[in-house]
Homo-oligomer: A and B are copies of this chain.
Amino acid sequence: MKSVNVGLCGLGTVGKGTFNVMQRNLEDISRRAGKPVRITHVGARRDNPECDLTGVKVSRDIFDVVRDPDIHIVVELIGGYDTAKELVLEAIKNGKHVVTANKAMIAVHGNEIFKAAEAKGVVVTYEAAVAGGIPIIKGIREGLVANDIKWLAGIINGTGNFILTEMREKGRMFEDVLKEAQALGYAEADPTFDVEGIDAAHKLTILASIAFGIPLQFDKVYTEGISKITREDVQYAEELGYRIKHLGFTRKTAEGVELRVHPTLIPEKRLIANVNGVLNAVLVEGDAVGPTMYYGPGAGSEQTASSVIADIVDIAREIDNAGNVPHLGYSSETENLPVLPVNEIETAYYLRITVKDEVGQMAKIAQILSNNNINIEAIIQKEPDGEAAVVPLILLTHNVREKLMDQAIVELEALDSVTRPVVRIRVEQLDG
């Protein structure tokens, strides 16, 4: 099976992430693609000390990459409008497929670029251009293909969402949080693109086009930033049961399409109102499916690389074969990892122990837990339960292997003072 050669232009934040994830997960990515997929040529003005370029051709002129006859897919990660466009158009002219994370270029020059690609029979993909690591382009163009899409609303700028979240949760002022965001590297020295909504407008332009089948029309997006939002308004909104989010919003009406980016009050009970910090989410309303939402990191090095590589694999799957996605996601034999019996898992536990309200019972229980290497994270002890003179004792434990917990429960239930079976519910933090 012929291998697919990828040429990477740019070794900045996303370029570095793409290079390193491709190297690290090379074997799995190739198994999923159904053929070897490798970055064989990198174009960058300078090396990135965090990338080991051993064995990879390196050019200082990025245009060498799009002229390399051995390259099948060019990945454009240099950003900006003009050079990026020139690079992509030359790649297309040379018959290369293109993957880009460049929202500004797609929003402004996409119609021209796609026309050139279609004329040449190549594809230009841009999953990473909207909402970073969230596969939202795929979700809409493919997953929701059955639907007449009614509207979509996106929190599609992490910097802005971080600022609004801090203002609400901590009562801070806009300027104050912006300075912190700049110190943390979330916001640029010139924060205009983020806080005045231009970045979000680029992304909304793309989302609206794929939702409604209309050309990219960045110049028609109504764009209003968050720099005038005060903490008073954030608080009043909260009193009314709302949160202020910087939304990209597009809706199809009988009269036309609304394309707008502005601060928006949304009811706090909506899931999207609870998307906080630098995270992104896009909520889409389709006539058949109703609401679906896609949530995750909207920026970051490897986070965005995740989408860049998804595009690379999509194209690689199409080259030289039917392009089908393997049934279980992998083309070659699936690994047969053992499935663990449940008593070999490790997790934390919620325990409810019903115990006689007598002196010294807690010490016995604590001893049994300790003997089985079970550490306690939190305890609630309730008042006696009616006339029965028993009390519910609620414990949260740290992680422990289930067979130790099984043993502890046997011992606990053997105590005279424990009057009912112990209730045990597992606990997962789900924090990565």
A residues sitting closer than 8 Å to B (CB atoms) are 17, 21-22, 24-25, 28-29, 31-33, 110, 114, 117-118, 121, 123-124, 127, 133-135, 138-148, 150, 153, 209-217, 220, 222, 228-230, 232-233, 236-237, 239-240, 242, 244, 247, 249, 252-253, 255-260, 262-267, 270-272, 274-275, 283, 285-297, 300, 302-303, 305-310, 313-314, 318, 322-330, 334-342, 344-345, 350, 352, 378, 380, 392, 394, 396, 423, 425-432
Contacts and interface: CB of A to CB of B under 8 A. Distances in A.
B305 A288 contact: yes
B145 A32 contact: yes
Contacts of A147: 21, 25, 306
A292 to B, nearest CB: 3
Nearest to A255: B340
A259 B392 contact: no
A139 B429 CA distance: 23
Contacts of A266: 427-430
A285 B296 CA distance: 10
B305 A296 contact: no
B263 A288 contact: no
Given A260-B342, A283-B430, A25 B310 contact: no
A212 B335 contact: yes
Contact of A334 (B118, B214, B303): B214
The copy count of this chain in the complex is 2
Given A138-B138, A429-B266, A339 B259 contact: yes
**Which applies to chain A's interface (DSSP): helix, strand, loop or mixed?**
mixed
B392 A232 contact: yes
11 contacts: A25-B146, A28-B148, A220-B339, A222-B345, A236-B380, A237-B350, A263-B426, A265-B396, A289-B297, A292-B294, A293-B293
